Homo-oligomer: A and B are copies of this chain.
Amino acid sequence: MPPMPPPSEPEAANKAARGGDSDAPRQEIVKAAAELFMDLGYRATSIDAIAERMGSTKGRVYHWYRSKAEIYFDVQRSAMRRLTELVEPIAREGGPPQQRIERMARAHVDCLLHDLPMQKVSVQGLETHVITSDSVRHAKAMREIVGLRDAYEALFCEVIDEGIRAGVFVDLPPRLLSKPFFGALNWVTIWYRPRRLQTEDDLQMLGEMLTEFAVRGILKERN
C-alpha cells in the first residue's frame, strides 16, 4: 500500500480551538482508525495498521493517544456528536410529530451513509468487544458513550411519545417502539457497501426509502 500524501487540508488556526484536547492530528487518527475498525473489527485492527494508513508509524499514534481503546472511544464520541448536531435542531422544531420524526430519520440515515466508517463502528454493539477486555479501566468512558447514545435516542423517543399522545402513532412504549425503528434505519450499516457507480441520487433514494419504511412502522393505520 503506497503511503498516503499528507492531507493538506486547511489545518491552520484551530490549534487551541477547543480545550487543547481535540486536535487536527487526532481527527486524522480517528478517521483512519474508524475505517479499519469498520473493515476488520476492533481487535483485528493493529496500531501499526492505523499508522501505516496515515503514512506514518506507531510513534505518532501513541503521541496523541495513550491506548487503542482511547482512539475507539473518540470514534464513538465523534460519531455521536455529528448525529446529535444534525438531528437535535430538527427535534426542537415545532410542527406535527409525524413530519418531525420523518425529517429526523432522514437526517439520521443520511449521516450514516455519508459517514459510514465512523457510524458503522458507533451504531453496532461493537463496544461490548472492547469493554469485556478492560471492563474496569474504561468504565467511565463507556458510561459517557452510553449517555450520549441514550440522550440521542431520547430525542426520537420524545417525538414518538408526542405522536402517540396525538393518536397518530401506534400505542406502545416509545422506548420499545424506537428499537425496530432504529433497526430499519441502522441495518443499512450492515448490508450496504459503497459501490463505484453509486451516485448521490442513489443515496438520496435509499435514504428516502428507509425513512418511509421506518415511519410506516410507527404510524397507526387509518382505516
| Copies of this protein in the complex | 2
Q: A217 near B222 (CB under 8 angstroms)?
A: no
Asked whether A63 is an interface residue with its Cβ less than 8 Å from the other chain, the reply is: no
Q: How far is the CB of A132 from chain B (nearest CB, A)?
A: 6
Q: A39 near B184 (CB under 8 angstroms)?
A: no
User: In the complex, A218 Cα to B41 Cα: how many Å?
Assistant: 33
Q: A125 near B190 (CB under 8 angstroms)?
A: yes
Q: Is the contact region of chain A dominated by helix, strand, or loop, or is it mixed? A: helix
Asked whether A210 is an interface residue with its Cβ less than 8 Å from the other chain, the reply is: yes
Inter-chain contacts of A129 with B (CB < 8 A): 40-41, 44
Chain B: CB-nearest residue to A205: B176
Q: B187 near A183 (CB under 8 angstroms)?
A: yes
Please encode chain A, from 206 to 223, with 1 for each CB lying within 8 Å of some chain B CB and 0 for all others.
Answer: 000110011011110111
Inter-chain contacts of A191 with B (CB < 8 A): 125, 179
User: In the complex, A188 Cα to B42 Cα: how many Å?
Assistant: 22
Asked whether A8 is an interface residue with its Cβ less than 8 Å from the other chain, the reply is: no
Q: A223 near B222 (CB under 8 angstroms)?
A: yes
Asked whether A133 is an interface residue with its Cβ less than 8 Å from the other chain, the reply is: yes
Which of B44, B185, B188 has a CB less than 8 Å from the CB of A133? B44
- Residues of A169-200 at the interface with B, using a CB-CB cut-off of 8 Å, are 170, 172, 176-177, 179-188, 190-191
Q: A172-B209, A179-B210, A184-B214 are known; give 19 further A-B pairs, CB within 8 A.
A: A39-B132, A40-B129, A43-B43, A44-B133, A124-B124, A170-B216, A179-B191, A180-B183, A180-B188, A180-B210, A180-B214, A181-B184, A181-B213, A183-B185, A183-B188, A183-B190, A184-B187, A213-B217, A216-B221
Interface pairs (9), CB distance under 8 Å: A41-B42, A41-B129, A125-B191, A179-B187, A179-B188, A183-B188, A186-B187, A214-B217, A219-B221
Q: Which residues of A are interface residues toward B (Cβ below 8 A)?
A: 39-44, 124-125, 128-129, 132-133, 170, 172, 176-177, 179-188, 190-191, 209-210, 213-214, 216-219, 221-223
